[in-house]
Amino acid sequence: MKHTEAAPDSIKIGLISISDRASQGVYTDEGIPALKTWLEKAMLNPCTFSERLIADESHTITKNIIELVDQEACDLVLTTGGTGPSRRDVTPEATIAAGTREMPGFGEQMRQISLRFVPTAILSRQTAVLREIENHAALIINLPGQPKSIQETLEGLKDSEGKSIVPGIFAAVPYCIDLIGGPYIEVQESVVKAFRPKSAIKK
């Protein structure tokens, strides 16, 4: 997508990495750096990031999502980690608790992408929700924990010539943000191509 005539809208993005061991300093978190690197490559908008590294605790995850939307006015919140079937993986439930409406299509598409690589993708429980308060709304999406998987789910799969085989989930994010009254997101089409109806494209 090309720049609009006016300068691109600024956007505030919350990034939450959910890991018991990384939050305790046992190893270095790779989720937030991977998210930031991809977003800065894909988006043309000026971005402000608010970052949180927290443990796999349901109430802590819910609290942080709510704070990022209600207090810090993030337009988009991306979580990474905690979406598997183990007893400590509680991110989807905590995300749903923070939301006002579910957006299950994001999780469905992420699993379709990951199934191209591993059959255990069906064990992934990623989901997405909207959180809508009186004067603000945000999209919250659960992403995988591995940097390679983060890129694949956001960007989708391409052939050797760079043509899209399976669309990544970020293709739908800009229009979703439009529909909930957020900033107009512009993207670098060589990375990911956003879809909007013709009537929703700014000239």
Measured CA angle at 112 (ends 145, 140), to 5 deg: 50
Per-residue pLDDT of 1-45, as tens digits, reads 444 457 789 999 999 999 998 888 888 999 999 999 999 999 999
Per-residue pLDDT of 149-169, as tens digits, reads 999 999 998 877 777 788 899
User: Which residues neighbour 55 within 8 Å (Cβ) at sequence distance 6 or greater?
Assistant: 18, 19, 20, 23, 24
Measured CA angle at 77 (ends 71, 80), to 5 deg: 130
Per-residue pLDDT of 42-88, as tens digits, reads 999 999 999 999 999 999 999 999 999 999 999 999 999 999 999 99
* Whole-angstrom distance, CA of residue 135 vs CA of residue 18: 28
Q: Is the pLDDT of residue 186 over 80?
A: yes
Q: Report the pLDDT value the prediction gives residue 176, as an integer from 0 to 100.
A: 98
Distances (CA, A) of 30 to 34, 80, 92, 102: 6, 10, 20, 27
Per-residue pLDDT of 82-129, as tens digits, reads 999 999 999 999 999 999 999 999 999 999 999 988 999 999 999 999
Alpha helices in the chain (DSSP H): 20-23, 31-42, 58-66, 91-98, 105-114, 147-155, 173-179
Token pair listed for 202: 């700014």
Is 11-200 assigned to CATH 3.40.980.10?
A: yes
Q: Indicate the SS3 state at residue 46.
A: coil
Residue type (1 letter), 119: P
Q: Report the pLDDT value the prediction gives residue 161, as an integer from 0 to 100.
A: 77
Report the candidate in 161, 173, 159, 167 with the shortest Cα–Cα distance to residue 39. Answer: 173
| Domain residue extents for the chain | 11-200
80, β-bridge pairs = 17, 143
